[in-house]
A and B are shown apart, each in its own frame.
Chain A
Amino acid sequence: MSSITEPKQTAPPFTVGIALDGAGWHSSAWRDEAARPADLFSPEYWSELVDTAERAGADYVTFEDALRLQGAAESSPDAPAGSRTLDPARVEGRLDALLTASWLAPRTRSIGLIPTVTTTHTEPFHVATALQTLDHVSGGRAGWQLRFSADRTSADAFGRRPPPELDIERVFAGEPEAGLDALIADAADAAEVARRLWDSWEDDAIIRDLETGRFLDRDRVHHIDFEGDGFSVIGPSIVPRSPQGQIVVALLAHAAPIFDLAARTADVVFITPENEAPAAGASRGKTAADLIAEVREAEAGVDRAALGLHPLRIVADLVVALDTDAEGGADRVARLDRLAGVATASDARVEAGPVERIADRIAAWRDAGVDGVRLRPAALPLDLGLIASELLPLLRARGLANPVASEPNPLRERFGLGVAPNRYATRRAPQEVSA
C-alpha cells in the first residue's frame, strides 16, 4: 500500500466544461434562426464549435453519443420488421464521438476532449486502445464519458446478446433493479479492463537496447489477465502508455447505483442538481448539497486511494440559454418550446437569462461544494458563442473559471488529478527499480 502515491487532498481547481450535442440541448434548437441544421455532420461545424470553446478557455468539451438514433423509440420484439419510429421533427443522427474527437485533436492544442463511448455492446479492448490513441494524438487531453446501453434498440443493432431485461420505471424511480445491476457490473468490468490496459506498458518499457537487440523490456509490459463474470481480456494493450497514463473517466449519474459505479471507476461525476423536471429521475428536486452527500457516501464505500483514484470531482450540469440583445434566454426557450409543442424536459436544470444570473447559480453551487460545472448550451452555436464572449469572462472575473491556458496541459491537471501512478510499476520491488 505504501508504494502507491497518496493523492493530494488540496482543493481541486474549479472547472468549466461544455457539453456538445447536435444543434444544442433543446430539441427544437435546430429550428432557431442562428442554428446551422444542415451542417451538423460537417467537420467545419465541429471544428468551429471546439475552436470557440478552446479560445474562450473552457477546460474541456464533451461529445454525446449512443448506439442508436436519438428519436428511435424502443423497437418492440413483435413490431413489424422495419417499422419506423423516427421523429422527423428532431435532430437524428450523430457522428461517432470518439472519432470526431480524434479528428479534432490535431486541430486544437489545449482543450480537453471527452467523447462518450458506450460499454455494453462494444469491445473493451477496442474502446481502451482507441482512447489511448486519442490521448497520444492530443498530447494528453483525452477523457472518456463512460455510458452503458440499457435499451433494446442498441442491443438489436448488434444482435449479439439478448437485450438487457430491466424495468425502466423502477430504474427511473431509483428503486433496486437486478437488470440494471448487471449492466453496471458489466460497465465496471469494461472500465477495469481499460484502466489495467492503460497501465499495461510502463512508461519506460521501450528500451531500444542495441547490446541485447531488444526493443522492449518485456518485464515492463504486462498481461492484465482480467477475468470477469461476462468476459476476460488477457492484454497487454497494443498501445504504449499514453501521455496521461490514466485517461480521465467521467460518468453522468442521477441515482445511487450510478454514484456507486462512479465511486468504483470514475474520476469525474456529472450530477444534475435542482431540477424539478421528471427527466431528472432519482435526482429530481435534490439540491447540489444533497447530491454531493450521496456521491461522497458512495465514495466512502470504496478505497479509492488504493485504486490510485483521487476523490471524485463532482461537476454539476446546467442547460443554459443566455440573453441576447434581441431576445431573452427565457423567451427563446419558450419560443423553442412552442415549436416543439411541449415544454423542454431535460435531465439537467435549465437556466435562462442574463449571464449574471447564470454566474450566480454557478457560484451558489460552488459554495455548496461542487468542483465544477458543465454547461450544456440550449442552442448551438448561439449559446456557446455567448458563453465564450460573455459568461466565461464573467466567471473568470469572479474566480469561477481558470485562466485561458497558454500552454497545452493534460486534462488530468485541469481536474487537479496529478500524475497517475502505474499499478504495475508500483509493484516492482524498490531494489529492482534502483538497480
Chain B
Amino acid sequence: MTQRQARLVAHFPGVNSTTVWSDPDSGSQIDFASFAHFARTAERGLFDYVFLAEGLRLREHGGQIHDLDVAGRPATLAILAAMASVTQHIGVVGTLSSTFNEPYELARQLATIDTLSGGRVGWNVVTSPDAFHGANFRRGGFLPYEDRYTRAEEFVALAKRLWDSWETGAVLADRGSGRFIDEQLVHSVVHSGPQFDVRATGSLPRSPQGYPVIVQAGDSPAGRDFAAANAEIIFSRHADYRAGQQFYRDVKGRLPAAGRTEDSLLILPAATFVIGDTDADAAEASRAIGFAQTTPQTAVAWVEAIWGRELPGLDPDGPLPATEPGAGEQRLGQVSTRVEDRVARAAQLRARAAAEGLTVRQLVAAETAAHTFVGSPETIAAEIDRHVQGRASDGFVLVPHLTPGGLDPFVDRVVPLLQERGVFRERYETDPETGFAVTLRRTLGLPQPPRPARDAVKREAAA
C-alpha cells in the first residue's frame, strides 16, 4: 500500500510575537535578499509553496502603533512576482483580501503572476470586513460582517469567469491573415449581483493554471462551507492530532455535497517547530525560544489585549490581574487576540495559571509560544508522517521563528528523513514534453478543475 505523501509549505515569518527579532541571526523583514533566501531555501527543500500573509494596516495597541513585534512587510502581489522570478519550481501563494480588492483588477494581477511564473501562483482568499482596515481604503469599512462570505463567494465566482474569458487558442498572432486574436474566442463577462456589477473582458490570455490555486483559512461554519465549495487548500489552525482528525473529517465530509472528491481539497495546518540534536536539546531550545517570543513587555501587552484595557503596573513575573476585563479593544488589527467573551477567557487563563503555577510571562509563553513540533529531526519527521498517515492533515504550513534563515535547519535535517520514509518527494516533477516545471496545482497533486462549458459562458454573455 502506498503511503500518503506529505505536502509542505513555508510560511514567511510574519508580524506576530512568534517572529523573534532580538536574535542575532534575525535578518531584515523587508530586504528582498530575505525573501529570495527564504524562497530558494524552500525550493531547495522541495516544498510545495511559499506563503505570505498580507498587511492592510499596522497593528495598534492602546490607541498607538504597536511597537513590540516585527512590523512592516511588502505588498503581497509584488513580492510574489519577485519571488517567482528567483525560483523555478516552487509555488508562490499570498493572502489577498476579497473585501479590499476588486475582481477585475485582482483577477488580472493573479493571471499576470501565473503567466510569468509558468503557473505557480495561489491565492489565499481572506475576508476582512472591519472599519479599522477600511480606513486605508477608498470605501472605508463598507461591508457588514455577515456579508463577508457573500462577497468572497461572488468575488471568486466572478474572477473565475474573467479568468476563463479568453479561450485556449484566442491568440492567433497570424501575420499572414493579419489577425492577432480570434475575437470569437474572447468573451465579455457581464455580471450583476449584490456585491458586484461588472462588465469586462479579461485582459490577457488564459494563464497556465487557468486560475490560481485557491486557498482558504476560515474556521467558522460559513468559512468551512466556503472552503468546501471553493477552496483547494485549507490553511487550518488544527495542528493537534485529534483536533486535526476531527477537522479533517468535518471538512472533507462537506465535499460530496459540493460535488467534489476528497482528493480535490488539501488540509494543511500551520505548525511551528524547534529542532535539536536530541529531543531533550530541542525541548530546552523550545523553552528558550518561547521566552524570546514572550518578552516581559509582550506578555503584559498580550494580557492587556485580552483584558481589553490598559493594565498599568502589571508585573510580568507576577500573577494575572485580579480585576475583571474591560470592554474596550486594546489591540486592533490582529486576529489572534480577538476575544468574544473576555470574562470567560480571563477565567480560563486564571484557571490555567493557577493549575500550572504560572506567572504572567510564563502563561503567555504557554498560550502563544508553544511549538507544534519539538524534537530531534527523527522525532519531527515521524510526527509529520503520523499526522499525514492518520488523516489529521495532508501536510503542514511551517512557520519558522527567524527571518530569513529559520527554515534552513528543517530543509537540511528533516526533509531528508521524510524522503527516507517515502512520504516526501525526491525531486520536483517536470513536464515530460517541455522539460519545464509543472504547475503548482500539479505539484500539489490536485485535480485539474473542470472549465465551465463554453456554451454556458456564451449563453450568459449573450443573455
Contact = CB atoms under 8 A, between A and B. Distances in A.
Interface of A: 28, 30-31, 33, 35, 37-38, 40-43, 67-69, 72, 75, 81-84, 86, 88-96, 98-100, 102-107, 121-126, 129-130, 132-134, 136-137, 139, 156-160, 201, 206, 208, 210, 212-218, 221, 230-236, 238-240, 339
A81 B180 contact: no
12 contacts: A33-B175, A38-B171, A83-B188, A84-B188, A86-B186, A100-B81, A132-B75, A133-B78, A133-B79, A214-B67, A215-B68, A238-B55
A41 B205 CA distance: 8
Contacts of B283: none
B78 A134 contact: yes
Contacts of B101: 123, 126
B67 A156 contact: no
A238 B180 CA distance: 41
A92 B180 contact: yes
Given A75-B199, A93-B166, A100-B116, A84 B186 contact: yes
B168 interface: no
Contact of B115 (A33, A43, A139, A214): A43
Contacts of B135: 232-234
Contacts of B67: 214-218
A215 B70 contact: yes
Nearest to A235: B136
A55 B182 CA distance: 36
A43 B199 contact: no
Contacts of B84: 103
Contacts of A122: 105
Given A82-B190, A84-B188, A102-B81, A216 B71 contact: yes
Interface of B: 21-22, 30-32, 36, 55-58, 64-65, 67-75, 77-79, 81-82, 84-86, 100-102, 104-105, 108-109, 112-113, 115-118, 135-140, 166, 171-173, 175, 178-183, 186-188, 190, 196-201, 203-205, 295-298, 460-463
A427 B38 CA distance: 38
Most chain B CB inside 10 Å of its own CB: which residue of A208, A210, A216: A216
Contacts of B298: 213
Given A37-B175, A86-B186, A238-B55, A212 B297 contact: yes
Nearest to A228: B138
A322 to B, nearest CB: 21
Contacts of A91: 180
A160 B102 contact: yes
Nearest to B173: A37
B72 A30 contact: no
B201 to A, nearest CB: 6
A136 B136 contact: no
B35 to A, nearest CB: 8
A105 B82 contact: yes
A31 B190 contact: no
Given A106-B86, A125-B136, A215-B67, A96 B108 contact: yes
A345 to B, nearest CB: 18
A127 to B, nearest CB: 9
Given A124-B138, A215-B68, 12 more contacts: A41-B115, A82-B463, A88-B172, A95-B204, A105-B85, A136-B31, A136-B74, A157-B104, A214-B297, A215-B69, A231-B139, A238-B73
Contacts of A221: 58, 65, 71
B95 to A, nearest CB: 12
A251 B149 CA distance: 39
Contacts of A236: 58, 65
A422 B245 CA distance: 53
Contact of B102 (A90, A130, A158): A158
B461 A82 contact: yes
Contacts of A239: 30, 72-75
Contacts of A231: 137-139
A43 B116 contact: yes
A216 B21 CA distance: 11
A115 B289 CA distance: 43
A67 B138 CA distance: 18
